[in-house]
Amino acid sequence: MDWKSSIALSLCLTQSEKMSKQQLKWIVTGNFTADGAVAYLQAENRFSRQLVDALVFENKEDAEAARKAAAGREALVTDPYVTEVADADKQLDVLTARERIRSQGPSTPYGRLSPTPRVV
């Protein structure tokens, strides 16, 4: 995500949130134990790194039951929790800046960004 375009992320999010209140649903997410990457509970009790794969629950109680089951698989996933999503027009969308960044990665550049040094 380009950091300049991401500046507007929060505003888009608010609009998305307002539009989607009627379609509130729930997913289970946590972090993979091996590398800490974001994990989404998907079908057949597996976990994916992609939000698009997340299993969507129509009610919070079912999501909570799935979270409890996931919490027992600590070697695979750490600290799973339930979070709200909007699921309008088959477009799965998280509702907070935090979850948006978790699903897309840092909004800012990192790594080898400066000019490659010449031999000093």
Residues that bind another protein (CB under 8 A): 3-4, 6-11, 13-14, 17, 31, 33-38, 74-75, 78-79, 95-98, 101-102, 105-118, 120
Nearer to another protein, 6 or 48 (CB): 6
Instruction: Retrieve residue 71's tokens.
Output: 């919490």
When computed from its CA atoms, the radius of gyration of the chain, rounded to whole angstroms, is 17
C-alpha to C-alpha distance for 94 and 86, rounded to whole angstroms? 6
Nearer to another protein, 23 or 108 (CB): 108
C-alpha to C-alpha distance for 36 and 78, rounded to whole angstroms? 8
- Residue 37 neighbours by CB under 8 Å, 6+ apart: 31, 49
SS3 state at 66? helix
Q: How far is the CB of 109 from another protein (least distance, A)?
A: 7
Q: How far is the CB of 17 from another protein (least distance, A)?
A: 7
Nearer to another protein, 22 or 36 (CB): 36
C-alpha to C-alpha distance for 119 and 64, rounded to whole angstroms? 56
The residue assigned the tokens 């609009």 is: 15
Q: How far is the CB of 62 from another protein (least distance, A)?
A: 23
Nearer to another protein, 3 or 50 (CB): 3
Q: How far is the CB of 51 from another protein (least distance, A)?
A: 13
